[in-house]
Amino acid sequence: MSAQMSVVSRRRKVSFYVSSGVLVAVIVGLLGPLLIDIVVGWLPVAVWEAIYGSEEIHAGSGAHRIHVLTLAALFWGLTVALALQLRRPERRRAPMLQAVALGVTFLVIDLAAGSVSDEEGPLVAGVILVALLHPARSRLVPSSLRDRVMAGLAIAAAIPAVTFAIDQIKTQRLGIAGDEHAEFGHWASMAVFATVIVLWALIASSDLAGWRVTAWSAAGAAAVYGVASLVYPGLPSAAGTGFALAAIAWAAAVVWRAEWAAMRLRVASTEEVAERTVSPVVVRAQP
């Protein structure tokens, strides 16, 4: 019986690695230009036109900058989270849940806003399949709260994030004729962004291994949005100066808390190793 279970486990593990690799390759293939936009999105419009052509949504008036940059940050978070599963996935449970959270949130919000794309369903199904095949799938759900401060940061962001998300969904559902942002589902995508950074911060506050990656992903997306709103004020979905600065400050606080917690864990681990090394000597020295 145990031998049969071992064979099944090995097959599932092989299926997991193959599925993860294929999914990462598909995402990079489909979303390569969007991933590149994390750099290109900050460049002058003339550079956009030289790279993509004036007919592409990336170029023209540059009115899509906030949307493109924020989406690029989210999909970098997804790509990194899935790519990390290709090595020691048991230690990357938080990034796996991070990928699931993004996929499911995209699907739910796009369904609510009526802007589901043809590629979305298969991509979300792929992420869920990888999670179901995960070697530590029974431990992908957090069992306890690790960091109350990180959870507090997530909760603090929840109210403005939910308010912003609801507003973006309403705008998407209006479907005003000639609105390119609605046509490309950008308003709904911004609702996903606002929701996901809160979810990612909550995941980073849990006891799931790999939480540091998820904390940086949440902070990175929030920082990109905040800086883009300051650099390109007045563009669709851009935050006002106060909220943009708040987003950047929140991102800095998330990174600080994650790095502080990681440092505490390293120190505690070092001290524990030192105690295990020294204690036998101390015992032998006692009369």
CA distance 128 to 25: 16
* pTM of the predicted model as reported, rounded to 2 decimal places: 0.88
86 Cβ contact list (under 8 Å, min separation 6): 17, 20, 21, 24
CA distance 19 to 133: 9
Q: What is the mean pLDDT of the chain?
A: 87
Name the band, by pLDDT with cuts 50, 70 and 90, for residue 6.
Answer: low
| pLDDT tens readout for residues 224-263 | 999 999 999 999 999 999 999 999 999 999 999 999 999 9
| pLDDT tens readout for residues 165-181 | 999 999 999 877 778 88
Token pair of 162 as six digits: 């939910």
Q: How far out from the chain centre does Cα 146 lie? A: 19
Q: What is the DSSP letter of 239?
A: P
Q: Any idea what the Cα angle at residue 105 is, between residues 158 and 161, rounded to 5°?
A: 20
Amino acid at site 48: W
